[in-house]
Structure 1
């Protein structure tokens, strides 16, 4: 392989020169360029997935919205192009129903 085509271990594999940030800096990286976080630092920044996982109620709501949006699609004759409108209307309908159920409890 010609020397000018040989991989250079000192060259980064991705080009970051198109970034608007100064070289070696990213807005989300607290570490200097070229520094990898330690295992302990990674553990500190791990997300608590239990805190962000959807609840059973959220999953049930999403399922009801999906079913309602699909029903609207079927009523419309399965014509594409109204997916967002169907979804938003389904959200309103499901949330209104859930609100009525909560106020009745």
Structure 2
């Protein structure tokens, strides 16, 4: 099951990045988003998602440095930053 979810989320991530858009916003179930973060951002395997915890209604922001994604916020709040994630290829929840 985790491997199937990882394949689906990997495809969604690849499609979003291939589209060349500035900002992608994903809203979804915690497990699905944790799998996406584990495989696409942290370059881990799908079972690594079990070590991540996402709060309800929390913001996770991923910024790109060139072609490298960097997890810049996990379990944050847009209000605590006083702004929205930068538009430079940000993936947000």
- Give the TM-score taking structure 1 as reference length: 0.25
Larger strand share, 1 or 2: 2
The structure whose Rg is larger is 1
TM-score, normalisation: structure 2: 0.28
